[in-house]
Structure 1
Amino acid sequence: MSSEILVNVTPMETRVALVENGAVQELYIERSQTRGLVGNIYKGKVVRVLPGMQAAFVDIGLERAAFIHASDIDLNRTDNEPHKPIQTLVREGQALVVQVIKDPMGTKGARLTTALSVPSRYLVFMPDSDHIGISQRIDSEEERERLRALVASVKEAEEIKKGGFILRTAAEGVGEAEIQSDMNYLKRLFRVLEQRMKENKPATIIYEDLALYLRVARDMVKTDVEKIRIDSKETFSKVHEFVTKYTPEVESVFEYYPGERPIFDLFSVEDEISKALGRKVELKSGGYLIIDQTEAMTTIDVNTGAFVGHRNLEETIYKTNLEAVTAIARQLRLRNLGGIIILDFIDMDDEEHKRQVHRMLEKHLEKDHAKSKVTSVSELGLVEMTRKRTRESLEHVLTEHCNVCAGRGRLKTAQTVCYEVFREILREERAYNTAQYLVLASQQVIDTLLDEESSNVADLEEFINKPIRFQVEPMYSQEQFDVILQ
């Protein structure tokens, strides 16, 4: 399976699309104003202990206090032992070094742990553990044993007495030199972090994970990735410098994309983003999925629609469910759906058909980087599953609750529409020669363009060397806009 990664960079946001066999499978969006927090390490301060919940709230300098459970502090217990009561583990006012394992979502604060870990290209360093672990995606038992022995010998040679390591999927097949280089990098990095832990005041950051475009270079280069194209020369230079220093063996995979056509127009990525915000997903056969996200869970309903089988109804149902499995696995990754997910397949009478649908689902989920658990198909055609959620879904990143319909639906935020306006202006600039631009949009979007986004507007005007004027269209909804050439 051939893969390609497209990286679209603007001063406001970075967007990354993973394309497999010509179809977009995963999307990552990081806005400069709201970067994800997973992996960040903070020196926090315990502000409230909750014995009833066996948890505590910790101030790490964010808008909302973060949350830590007793099981994420009491790390030395075995699986069979109950964790110690939270009030014996922490007290109010206490300083506590913690790491974010889940981003804030909705009204919930970030989720924390005291089990710190710091990643490099091939390894994850765990200062409070002596364990040597290996990614489950490395299947060969022989390779697992080789890597385990290699890490143990390099650890001894480098005299690293304290701390454990997890070998990441990218470590498959690498030699002693690469492991040694990574270990030395992590050792140096953690020495710096230990100093910050001592010197920093509570509610301050100790370590921040890399920006999205550098995480692509560190985490997403796999054997099946043929090309990683980046449409910003400045970002490409930064990535090239990072890769030359840490992962020179994958340097040839990266290339600068100078094309006049916007990079996300390749493989119709913009269209896929729009489709991924809709409820309905069409299947080639004429069937379709209906996807509904709520705070508690996501439901995916499979329907036959216009599809009628050649032989009988059972065959029609079976074929539709099999086709739906492929689409569901893709939508889970594309939309980054997490938590509890209920799949409502069309009822099947044949037990073998149920088994085949379940087997196909498990096979497709093997390609997914997020861990999931799946139950078998019930008598009602339902499959319950969970998919690990560490960051917001695509819908939550790009949309907000709609006030007009009292929260029953969603619409794009004014900021999302502003960025669409910027991209449309750049698209028009490449295609046509004009003296200036006029943007027609709703009051909310124009206000955002002239206020929070005014510096980005100024940068864009300087970049295209043309003025941009704005005009409110009272009848336009928040998502509507027009860019007029003048």
Structure 2
Amino acid sequence: MSSELLINVTPSETRVALIENGVLQEVHIERQAKRGIVGNIYVGKVSRVLPGMQAAFVDIGLDKAAFLHASDIVQPQVADDTGQAAMPRDIRGLVREGQLLLVQVVKDPLGTKGARLTTDITLPSRYLVFMPDANHVGVSQRIESETERSRLKAVVAEFVDEQSGYIIRTAAEGAGEEELKQDARFLKKLWAKISKRKQKTRKEGRVYEDLNLSYRILRDFIGTDLERIRIDSKLTYQELLAFTDEFIPQMTSLLEYYPGERPIFDMFDVENEIQRALERKVMLKSGGYLIIDQTEAMTTVDVNTGAFVGHRNLEDTIFNTNIEATQAIARQLRLRNLGGIIILDFIDMQNEEHQRRVLHSLELALSRDRAKTNIHGFSALGLVEMTRKRTRESLEHILCSDCPVCKGRGSLKTVETVCFEVLREIVRVNRAYDADEFVVYASPEVKDALTNDEFHNLAEVQVFIGKQISVQLEPLYNQEQFDVVMI
């Protein structure tokens, strides 16, 4: 499978697209004014302890207080009477209000929620992840060779001391001792710099900022099967060349400067794909389609046969549509960066073998997703429940905001509904106040409906209250807006 990265850079925004076999699979967007903060390290001040939630709110200098759960707090282990390591379970035994803590962001603020924090600090590099509060060596499970795992562990064990441990990343497979030593040396220097800043800091604030998107993408894609990385900014290209020369030499040859007059995202149809990724409906090649709805609690995906009628029988038509849908669902989850709880409503299948094959197809389709996913099989209602790890905002939340008319409901009151609300409001105001005449200001659609000859209700209300009612056009009002004014 051929893969390449496209990096589009402007002074205020960086966008990265992952193309696999000519098809857009992932989009990463970072705006200078709203940079993601995952990986950043802060000195935070505990502003509130919540025993009922076993958590604390921590002020790290952002608009919203961040969230720190008791399970994300690392404390020195103390042995109890049995010799077992004992650790306070109650949040009140772990932190106190006003306390300064060194914390790291593990999840960006999402919607109305603040950032999620941990005191288990980690610093990633090319081959290693540095853990200042550990003194052991872990190895990525993706390195399968026991011989290689043992070799890497033996090499890295030499760098471990009482106040530092390491996780060996997948990209370290085949790396030499000198390369691993350079990584360990770099990470220890970086940690020393962070520790020094922490000691000088007497109030909440940032002490370390993770790399920007262009650098982060290169670091995170080490070891993946990339053919090339195209960058449309000469300055960013030169900066990334210097970065890869020093830290990731094996990726230097993949970098290409794209000087074309046609925008790089237009050349690969990325712009159109991004627009399509914001729509509810996703068409399948067979004629079937998906309906994707993202809500606060979960994301639902509904599979429909649509215009696909099949060639044999109904059961085969349903099965083939569901198999095709698994590929589209896996791509859409990555492309839209949908996370949390996801409910998949496949077309009902009576054949258990078909259900098993659809689940297997879904697992295979999700195997290339770098975000962790868990599939829980078909429920009693025939729904597939799954989760996908979410650490940043979805594409829709980055690019869109709630509709100012429907306020995120996704629907408007009908013109008829608004007309009856107007009539009820007139009667209510008439009972509360003494007025000789009423003027209704409404949107074009509502005015036309109220004054339509077929709509007799306005005349009936005039007779009922015994007063004149006139309707005036207010072109700037949306369909649900109106005012009833007394004269």
Shorter-chain TM-score range: 0.7 to 0.9
Q: CA deviation at 1:381?
A: 2.6
* Cα contact 1:70–1:83 (8 A) shared by 2: no
* Cα contact 1:49–1:91 (8 A) shared by 2: yes
Q: Which residue of 2 aligns with 1:113?
A: 118
List aligned pairs for 1:371-382, cutoff 5 A. Answer: 371-382=372-383
* Cα contact 1:3–1:21 (8 A) shared by 2: yes
The reply to whether residue 57 of structure 1 matches residue 62 of structure 2 is: no
Alpha-carbon distance change, 262 to 151 in structure 1, aligned in 2, over 3 angstroms: same
Q: Which residue of 2 aligns with 1:458?
A: none
Matched residue of 2:230: which SS? strand
Q: Which residue identity does 2:57 align to in structure 1?
A: F
The reply to whether residue 229 of structure 1 matches residue 230 of structure 2 is: yes
Q: Which residue of 2 aligns with 1:271?
A: 272
The reply to whether residue 138 of structure 1 matches residue 143 of structure 2 is: yes
Alpha-carbon distance change, 179 to 370 in structure 1, aligned in 2, over 3 angstroms: same
Q: Which residue of 2 aligns with 1:13?
A: 13
Q: Which residue of 2 aligns with 1:29?
A: 29
Q: Which residue identity does 1:247 align to in structure 2?
A: I
Matched residue of 1:299: which SS? strand
Alpha-carbon distance between aligned partners in 2 of 1:278 and 1:56, rounded to the nearest angstrom? 38
Q: CA deviation at 1:224?
A: 1.3
Q: Which residue of 2 aligns with 1:421?
A: none
Q: CA deviation at 1:82?
A: 7.7
Q: CA deviation at 1:96?
A: 0.6
Q: CA deviation at 1:406?
A: 2.5
1:163-194 deviation per Cα after TM superposition (whole angstroms, max 9, x unaligned): 11112222222121211111111011111111
Q: CA deviation at 1:122?
A: 1.1
Q: Which residue of 2 aligns with 1:314?
A: 315
Alpha-carbon distance between aligned partners in 1 of 2:72 and 2:349, rounded to the nearest angstrom? 42
Q: CA deviation at 1:161?
A: 4.1
Q: Which residue of 2 aligns with 1:175?
A: 176
Alpha-carbon distance between aligned partners in 1 of 2:145 and 2:24, rounded to the nearest angstrom? 29
Residue correspondences, number: 409
Q: Which residue identity does 2:111 align to in structure 1?
A: G
Q: CA deviation at 1:409?
A: 3.6
Alpha-carbon distance between aligned partners in 1 of 2:326 and 2:145, rounded to the nearest angstrom? 28
Q: Which residue of 2 aligns with 1:434?
A: none
Q: Which residue identity does 1:152 align to in structure 2?
A: A
Q: CA deviation at 1:74?
A: 4.3
The reply to whether residue 100 of structure 1 matches residue 105 of structure 2 is: yes
Matched residue of 2:24: which SS? strand
Q: CA deviation at 1:231?
A: 0.2
Q: CA deviation at 1:76?
A: 5.7
Q: CA deviation at 1:230?
A: 0.4
Q: Which residue identity does 1:378 align to in structure 2?
A: S
1:350-394 deviation per Cα after TM superposition (whole angstroms, max 9, x unaligned): 111111111111122221111111111234331101111000000
Structure index of larger Rg: 2
Alpha-carbon distance between aligned partners in 2 of 1:339 and 1:77, rounded to the nearest angstrom? 32
Alpha-carbon distance between aligned partners in 1 of 2:30 and 2:13, rounded to the nearest angstrom? 6
Comparing 225-234 and 172-181, the one that deviates more: 172-181
* Cα contact 2:26–2:335 (8 A) shared by 1: yes
Q: CA deviation at 1:210?
A: 0.2
Stretches of structure 2 that go unaligned for 5 or more consecutive residues are: 79-83, 412-474, 479-487
Q: CA deviation at 1:308?
A: 1.4
* Cα contact 1:72–1:112 (8 A) shared by 2: yes
Alpha-carbon distance between aligned partners in 2 of 1:118 and 1:200, rounded to the nearest angstrom? 20
Q: CA deviation at 1:407?
A: 1.4
The reply to whether residue 148 of structure 1 matches residue 145 of structure 2 is: no
Q: CA deviation at 1:221?
A: 3.6
* Cα contact 2:88–2:94 (8 A) shared by 1: no
Matched residue of 1:374: which SS? strand
Q: Which residue of 1 aligns with 2:48?
A: 48
Q: CA deviation at 1:223?
A: 4.3
Alpha-carbon distance between aligned partners in 2 of 1:148 and 1:340, rounded to the nearest angstrom? 36
Q: Which residue of 2 aligns with 1:361?
A: 362
Q: Which residue of 1 aligns with 2:394?
A: 393
Q: Which residue identity does 1:341 align to in structure 2?
A: I
CA RMSD of aligned residues (A): 2.0
Q: Which residue of 2 aligns with 1:4?
A: 4
Q: Which residue of 2 aligns with 1:463?
A: none
Alpha-carbon distance between aligned partners in 2 of 1:379 and 1:297, rounded to the nearest angstrom? 19
Q: Which residue of 2 aligns with 1:416?
A: none
Q: Which residue of 1 aligns with 2:441?
A: none
* Cα contact 1:75–1:115 (8 A) shared by 2: no
List aligned pairs for 1:179-218, cutoff 5 A. Answer: 179-218=180-219
Matched residue of 2:341: which SS? strand
